[in-house]
């Protein structure tokens, strides 16, 4: 019988999926990992808007302190692509599980330590410098987390259920957003002096507990069966980043596909909140509506993942992208209309009905674009490059709104969404339909020969 990696691409092997108990364990671990990572990452953004200015930049005016606080927020987005490239490369060389253990520890410790930081009033300029350093660690960690969690679930899942299994992990993103909103909202009920003295620290210190839970689950999962069946020489000679850049088509399609789902979280989770509050809505009401949208996304993400298994990645994703393009302006109008009911409906439709079509299919879609020996690097690079655009989208949207005269002149901002959504729809539609495909990375002797730099005569067994 030929070695595992010599068999035909669609012949059952480790790529056909791990045992059901292991698949469930990996799905839960992926969900918890994403929940923890995005709880920590989004919590920082909320705290930057509420408390970091007066605590860490008290030497500046309130306005400049807020600007400086948001500047530290941006450093996390700058560090994400670097984390994706570095940790993706390491994950393709030494294994997925080791890197995912590292990312969850880095994120949990960085967030917990933010809760222990002394303020500017206590240690002066060292306080904001330490805050920036820990934010960079957060960004670096989350840069490697998303891709690793997505592909570990994809590589364990049976092909027919890959969309569902990876979507369960993706439900951790809105779960982290909801949890962070509820955590900061709860401590914000404290009297102002208590909130600034100690209350703001509690949600960050909670990260230590989340880290313990997530680490326990992640230690128990096994390494990807597809990675372990790779030829040992391929692992030693692997140059994943070079290989990804040598054939840039999948990377460019992956970046385009990642843009709308990542922009949603920042444009509607940040800009739309400030936009609606600026029109007179109370912050607590807007955050409550946002929480309802996130809660709906948690429920709907696995459902849309299941639909992508049944009907294909392209129909599900493209339906969401086209719906987002058509509804961009009506949704912004509803959110800023002044009607509480329409605002709730707007946030729910954005997060639980439209964007979720794309985000639920995205992990499986990207995993199916790259071979095993470059998959971690490929999907991390595609997703994290898109987050750069997402990180600056609130700034761009604010500038477009100001150029249009402010108020409810949201047309140019909606136009930005239309352009990104149509670009993504075209990129995905003209790619191949990949649902149910075998994820085995290097399936033919010719591919192995190219990777090993041999004439193809040397054959080795799977590790």
pLDDT at 360: 93
pLDDT beyond 60 at 433? yes
pLDDT beyond 80 at 326? yes
Q: What is the mean pLDDT of residues 194-205?
A: 89
13-452 domain in CATH 3.40.1190.20? Answer: no
pLDDT beyond 80 at 305? yes
pLDDT, one tens digit per residue, over 415-432 is 999 999 999 999 999 988
Residues 43-58: b if buried by 16+ CB within 10 A, e if exposed: bbbbbbbbbbbbbbbe
pLDDT, averaged across the chain: 83
Using a CB cutoff of 8 Å and minimum separation of 24, what contacts does 95-99 make? 95/223, 95/224, 95/227, 95/228, 96/148, 96/151, 96/152, 96/155, 96/223, 96/224, 96/227, 96/376, 97/152, 97/218, 97/221, 97/222, 97/223, 97/224, 99/144, 99/148, 99/376
pLDDT beyond 90 at 299? yes
Between CA 5 and CA 381 the distance in angstroms is: 26
Q: Domain residue spans in the chain?
A: 13-452
pLDDT at 279: 84
pLDDT, one tens digit per residue, over 334-383 is 988 889 999 999 999 999 999 999 999 999 999 999 888 889 899 999 99
pLDDT, one tens digit per residue, over 384-418 is 899 888 877 877 888 888 888 877 788 898 999 99
pLDDT at 443: 41
Q: What is the mean pLDDT of residues 102-123?
A: 91
Percent of the chain with pLDDT over 70: 88
Residues whose CB is less than 8 angstroms from the CB of residue 31 and which lie 6 or more positions away in sequence, other chains included: 168, 169, 171, 172, 175
Q: Of the given ranges (29-38, 129-138, 323-332, 442-451), which has the lowest mean pLDDT?
A: 442-451
pLDDT, one tens digit per residue, over 439-452 is 774 444 444 444 44
Q: Give the DSSP per-residue string, 121-139.
A: HHHTTHHHHHHHHHHHHHH
Using pLDDT thresholds of 50, 70 and 90, give the confidence band for residue 34.
confident
Between CA 33 and CA 15 the distance in angstroms is: 23
């Amino acid at each position: 019988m030929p070695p595992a990696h010599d068999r035909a691409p669609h012949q059952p092997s480790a790529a056909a999926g791990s045992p059901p108990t292991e698949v469930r364990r990996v799905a839960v671990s992926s969900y918890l990992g994403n929940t923890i990572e995005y709880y920590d990452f989004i919590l920082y953004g909320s705290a930057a808007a509420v408390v970091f200015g007066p605590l860490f930049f008290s030497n500046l005016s309130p306005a400049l302190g807020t600007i400086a606080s948001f500047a530290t927020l941006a450093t996390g987005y700058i560090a994400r692509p670097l984390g994706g490239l570095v940790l993706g490369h390491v994950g393709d060389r030494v294994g997925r599980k080791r890197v995912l253990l590292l990312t969850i520890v880095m994120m949990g410790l960085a967030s917990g330590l933010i809760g222990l930081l002394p303020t500017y009033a206590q240690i002066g300029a060292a306080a904001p410098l330490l805050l920036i350093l820990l934010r960079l660690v957060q960004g670096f960690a989350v840069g490697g987390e998303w891709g690793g969690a997505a592909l570990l679930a994809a590589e364990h899942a049976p092909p027919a259920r890959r969309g569902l299994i990876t979507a369960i992990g993706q439900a951790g993103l809105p779960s982290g957003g909801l949890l962070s909103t509820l955590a900061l909202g709860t401590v914000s009920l404290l009297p102002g002096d208590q909130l600034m003295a100690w209350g703001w620290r509690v949600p960050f210190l909670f990260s230590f507990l989340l880290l313990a839970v997530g680490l326990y689950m992640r230690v128990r999962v096994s390494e990807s069966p597809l990675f372990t069946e790779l030829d040992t020489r391929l692992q030693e000679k692997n140059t994943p980043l070079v290989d990804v850049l040598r054939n840039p088509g999948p990377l460019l399609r992956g970046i385009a596909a990642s843009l709308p789902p990542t922009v949603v979280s920042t444009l509607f989770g940040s800009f739309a909140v400030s936009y609606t509050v600026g029109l007179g809505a109370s912050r607590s009401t807007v955050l409550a509506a946002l929480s309802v949208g996130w809660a709906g996304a948690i429920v709907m993400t696995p459902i849309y993942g299941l639909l992508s298994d049944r009907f294909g990645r392209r129909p599900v994703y493209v339906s969401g992208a086209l719906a987002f393009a058509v509804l961009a302006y009506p949704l912004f109008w509803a959110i800023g209309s002044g009607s509480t009911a329409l605002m709730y409906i707007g946030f729910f439709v954005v997060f639980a009905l439209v964007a979720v079509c794309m985000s639920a299919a995205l992990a499986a879609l990207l995993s199916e674009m790259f071979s095993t020996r470059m998959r971690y690097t490929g999907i991390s690079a595609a997703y994290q490059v898109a987050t750069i655009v997402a990180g600056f989208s609130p700034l761009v949207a604010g500038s477009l709104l100001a150029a249009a005269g402010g108020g409810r002149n949201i047309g140019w901002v909606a136009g930005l969404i239309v352009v990104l959504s149509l670009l993504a729809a075209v990129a995905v539609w003209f790619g191949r339909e990949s649902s149910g495909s075998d994820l085995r990375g290097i399936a033919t002797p010719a591919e192995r020969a190219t990777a090993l730099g041999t004439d193809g005569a040397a054959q080795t067994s799977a590790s």
